[in-house]
């Protein structure tokens, strides 16, 4: 008898700890993404209403909440398809396709090219958005732009972001030692930002909320260089 009580207690404890871990994991993944955080709050609200309507016996309201839940699941899957994919990728710790080894000399050359490009863009006040792919694949966003697959060269960035070219609108994505694309479109953030930040900075923060990438933004208005990662924008000094 007492053994079954102990077994039941252990079972309940494992159950609770597992739920706690799942919730903690989901919240820590969602907290940098306003869109998914709002969804999370919405789902929590509906669940609370569902529990209350069941407890209080409010049958009509309960029926309404049930319908919202049934259709809502389908709507969430459709609306949040990209986020769900990223979530599953993160859970499975899916890494990018096999990375090419880059020698130290080559890394140094790439750095010089990038520093040269970004400082020239800033000096000339040419607006730019350059994203570095990290562990999560950026392929969905590369597909929104024009594929380039070019070597990293300072002149290439100056050409891409020159206002006279159709490619200057949007973001350039770097995968390893290659410039994968130009003119990519990012979902902008919904965060409240200072009015001095427009669509370019919103796009940079937006992509950093849903991927682990790093984005460099050069402001056309001020020539300021900023970096967006993990849903945060930091100005360079």
| Binding positions for ligand ATP, rule: CB under 6 A | 127, 129, 169-171, 185-186, 188, 197-201, 203, 219-221
Three-class HEC string of 166-200:
HHHCCEEEEECCEEEEEEECCCCCCCCCCCCCCHH
Least separation in angstroms between residue 206's CB and ligand ATP is 7
Least separation in angstroms between residue 212's CB and ligand ATP is 18
Q: Name the residue number minimizing CB distance to ligand ATP.
A: 198
Least separation in angstroms between residue 231's CB and ligand ATP is 15
Q: Which is nearer to ligand ATP, 198 or 231 (CB)?
A: 198
> Coil, helix or strand for 67?
helix
Q: Which is nearer to ligand ATP, 18 or 199 (CB)?
A: 199
Residue 177, CB-side half-sphere exposure with 13 Å CA sphere: 15
Least separation in angstroms between residue 135's CB and ligand ATP is 22
Least separation in angstroms between residue 141's CB and ligand ATP is 9
Q: Which is nearer to ligand ATP, 86 or 203 (CB)?
A: 203
DSSP 162: S
Angstrom distance (rounded) from CA 71 to CA 78: 11
Q: Which is nearer to ligand ATP, 8 or 222 (CB)?
A: 222
DSSP state letters, 102-154: --HHHHHHHHHHHHHHHHHHHHTT--EEEEE--SS--HHHHTTSEEEEEE--H
Q: Which is nearer to ligand ATP, 129 or 210 (CB)?
A: 129
Q: In the structure encoding, which two tokens stand for residue 40, read together?
A: 């999370």
State in Å, rounded, how far the first CA of the chain is from the last one: 69
Least separation in angstroms between residue 94's CB and ligand ATP is 24
Q: Which is nearer to ligand ATP, 54 or 119 (CB)?
A: 119
């Amino acid at each position: 008898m007492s053994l079954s009580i102990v077994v039941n207690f252990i079972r309940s404890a494992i159950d609770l700890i597992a739920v706690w871990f799942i919730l903690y994991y989901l919240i820590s993944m969602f907290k940098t993404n306003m869109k998914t955080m709002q969804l999370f709050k919405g789902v929590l609200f509906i669940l609370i209403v569902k529990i209350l309507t069941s407890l209080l016996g409010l049958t009509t309201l309960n029926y309404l909440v049930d319908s919202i839940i049934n259709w809502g699941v389908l709507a969430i899957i459709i609306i949040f398809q990209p986020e769900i994919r990223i979530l599953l990728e993160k859970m499975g710790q899916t890494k990018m396709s096999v990375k090419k080894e880059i020698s130290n000399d080559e890394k140094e050359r790439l750095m010089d090219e990038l520093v040269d490009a970004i400082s020239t863009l800033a000096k000339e006040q040419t607006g730019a958005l350059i994203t570095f792919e990290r562990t999560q694949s950026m392929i969905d966003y590369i597909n929104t732009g024009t594929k380039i697959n070019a070597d990293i060269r300072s002149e290439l960035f100056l050409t891409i972001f020159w206002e006279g070219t159709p490619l200057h609108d949007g973001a350039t994505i770097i995968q390893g030692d290659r410039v994968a694309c130009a003119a990519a479109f990012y979902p902008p953030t919904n965060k409240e930002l200072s009015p001095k930040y427009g669509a370019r900075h919103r796009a940079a923060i937006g992509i950093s909320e849903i991927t682990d990438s790093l984005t460099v933004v050069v402001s056309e208005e001020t020539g300021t260089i900023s970096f967006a990662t993990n849903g945060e924008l930091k100005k360079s000094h």
